[in-house]
Copies of this chain bind each other. A is one copy, B any other.
Amino acid sequence: MTVPLSRPLVLEPNSAADPCAHCDARHASVCNAIPDGDMARLAAAAVVMEAAPGTSFINEGDPANYFFNVTRGTAKLFKLLPDGRRQITGFVGVGHFLGLAVSETYAFSAEAIDHVRYCRFSRTRLRALLDDYPLMEKRLLEVASNELVAAQEQMLLLGRKTARERLASFLASQSRLGVSCRHPRTRFSLPMTRGDIADYLGLTIETVSRTLTKLRSEGLIEIPSATEVVIRAPGALERLAGGAA
């Protein structure tokens, strides 16, 4: 769920001065499909909102009245089974769109991991916006297509990879986050907890912890702190991860 296009699309008006969370470039905040002069119209349709860490701002099953664009921070998307088992379907960062689905209700919940800022559009206004800016619709189709590819990759991971391979895939993909700006990083921090990682990879907390420890003891990675990772053997990790991941 985290294949960014060439450049994060941030719909929030007047945020041109904010540095991108994933790299230190300063992206234009203007949707490249919307002429600068029309930003006022966009601003009228959007409400900038914030969510504190641990707060959810989309609840599975609620009426899907809004459409979101994350402009800062990281959130987790997840689905729950009646007995509480949780599957995190993705971590979404700056530029990500949420709530595309045609359905009447949201198919997943979204919860802020760190401090999240997002831009909220009413769906009816979004519809009008899309009618006026077909380029934006085209862009959304690209985004959705990319997410679909990422989702299939994740299915391969969940259905067929071992715990070891899952962690390797996860670390490899985290190291590639925000790569529109840079090469894969060898050192990065994980904003999410071990529990989140477990629920994302279809494992338990204990298995995640154990497997990370094992990868460390084998010299593939270093773990300076619980939220920090250094990739010591990118090639080996990539090979372990299997396909693209």
Which residues of A approach B to under 8 Å, CB–CB? 5, 77, 79-82, 85-87, 89, 100-103, 107-108, 130, 134, 137-138, 140-142, 144-149, 151-156, 158-161, 199, 201-202, 242-244
Residues of B within 8 A of A146 (CB): 101-103
How far does the Cβ of A86 sit from chain B's closest Cβ, in whole Å? Answer: 7
Q: Tell whether A147 pairs with B148 under 8 Å between CB atoms, given A158-B159, A160-B87.
A: yes
Select A137's contact among B137, B152, B153, beta carbons within 8 Å: B137
* Given A81-B242, A81-B243, A141-B144, 6 new contacts (CB under 8 A): A79-B155, A85-B161, A101-B145, A101-B146, A144-B145, A151-B155
Q: How many copies does the complex hold?
A: 2
Residues of B within 8 A of A142 (CB): 102
Q: How far is the CA of A85 from the CA of B243 in the complex (A)?
A: 11
Residues of B within 8 A of A243 (CB): 79-82
Residues of B within 8 A of A244 (CB): 107
Q: Name 23 interchain pairs, CB-CB below 8 A, sorted by A.
A: A79-B153, A79-B155, A79-B243, A81-B242, A81-B243, A82-B242, A86-B160, A89-B152, A101-B149, A102-B146, A107-B149, A107-B153, A108-B152, A130-B138, A134-B137, A141-B144, A144-B145, A144-B148, A148-B151, A154-B155, A155-B155, A158-B158, A158-B202
User: Would you call B87 and A159 a contact (CB within 8 A)?
Assistant: yes
User: Would you call A87 and B155 a contact (CB within 8 A)?
Assistant: yes
Q: Tell whether A152 pairs with B107 under 8 Å between CB atoms, given A138-B137, A141-B100.
A: yes
Residues of B within 8 A of A101 (CB): 145-146, 148-149
Query: CB-nearest residue of chain B relative to A146?
Result: B102
Query: CB-nearest residue of chain B relative to A106?
Result: B149
Query: CB-nearest residue of chain B relative to A200?
Result: B159
User: Would you call B82 and A156 a contact (CB within 8 A)?
Assistant: no
How far does the Cβ of A72 sit from chain B's closest Cβ, in whole Å? Answer: 23
Q: How far is the CA of A100 from the CA of B145 in the complex (A)?
A: 6
How far does the Cβ of A5 sit from chain B's closest Cβ, in whole Å? Answer: 8
Q: How far is the CA of A151 from the CA of B86 in the complex (A)?
A: 15
Q: Tell me which of A5, A158, A201 has the highest count of chain B C-beta atoms within 10 A of its own C-beta.
A: A158
Query: CB-nearest residue of chain B relative to A81?
Result: B242
